[in-house]
């Protein structure tokens, strides 16, 4: 497994991975598959090429993308970066890819000068919560709905960098 920052030529592979993530684990994301599939190419490029954002991918020995994570500033909280879009393909879970992606985003955030990092995870996603706890994240007590119309709740977790 290898992890690196996204490159301009990776756009189609990343889009494919993101759509797979939304189809496989729809309750893990605020965005719905239906929204992502109609997103124009310019939106995908902006999402991956924005200089203030760190988009990381994990790929296997056959150069297939098997995981992703995004670091992006949290507008409401100065010096805080958010960990977004975190996903690892089911067939590669349990191999340290999630931890590697988190470490990549955290490293990027430290170099960019952020002091804290936060994330949201559905309260029912116990494997992800355990991973984040192992990586040093703590529940902040903040809760909000996954998305409008959803019965699922997001718990916010964070840590100091």
Mean pLDDT for the stretch of residues 7-35: 94
For 81-138, the pLDDT digits (tens) are: 999 999 999 999 999 999 999 999 999 999 999 999 999 999 999 999 999 999 999 9
- Between CA 6 and CA 117 the distance in angstroms is 20
- Between CA 68 and CA 84 the distance in angstroms is 9
Confidence at residue 104, expressed as pLDDT on a 0 to 100 scale: 98
Residues 6+ apart with CB under 8 A from 92: 1, 58, 60, 66, 67
Domains defined for the chain, CATH in brackets? 2-160 (3.40.630.30)
Confidence at residue 61, expressed as pLDDT on a 0 to 100 scale: 86
Mean pLDDT for the stretch of residues 47-58: 90
pLDDT at 77 over 80: no
Ramachandran assignment for 117, one of left (phi > 0), alpha (psi -120 to 50 degrees), beta (any other): beta
pTM score = 0.94
H helix intervals, the chain: 11-24, 33-37, 41-49, 97-111, 126-134
Residues present in the chain in total: 161
Confidence at residue 124, expressed as pLDDT on a 0 to 100 scale: 95
């Amino acid at each position: 497994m290898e992890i690196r920052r996204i490159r301009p030529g990776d756009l189609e592979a990343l889009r494919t991975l993101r759509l797979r993530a939304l189809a496989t684990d729809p309750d893990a994301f605020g965005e719905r598959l239906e929204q992502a599939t109609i997103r124009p190419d310019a939106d995908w490029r902006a999402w991956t090429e924005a200089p203030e954002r760190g988009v990381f991918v994990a790929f296997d020995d056959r150069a297939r993308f098997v995981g992703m994570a995004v670091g992006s500033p949290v507008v409401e909280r100065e010096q805080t970066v958010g960990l977004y879009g975190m996903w690892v393909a089911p067939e590669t879970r349990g191999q340290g890819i999630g931890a590697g992606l988190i470490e990549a985003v955290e490293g990027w955030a430290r170099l960019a000068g952020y002091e804290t990092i936060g994330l949201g995870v559905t309260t029912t996603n116990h494997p992800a919560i355990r991973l984040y706890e192992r990586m040093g994240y703590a529940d902040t007590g903040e809760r909000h709905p996954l998305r409008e119309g959803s019965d699922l709740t997001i718990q916010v977790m964070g840590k100091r960098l």
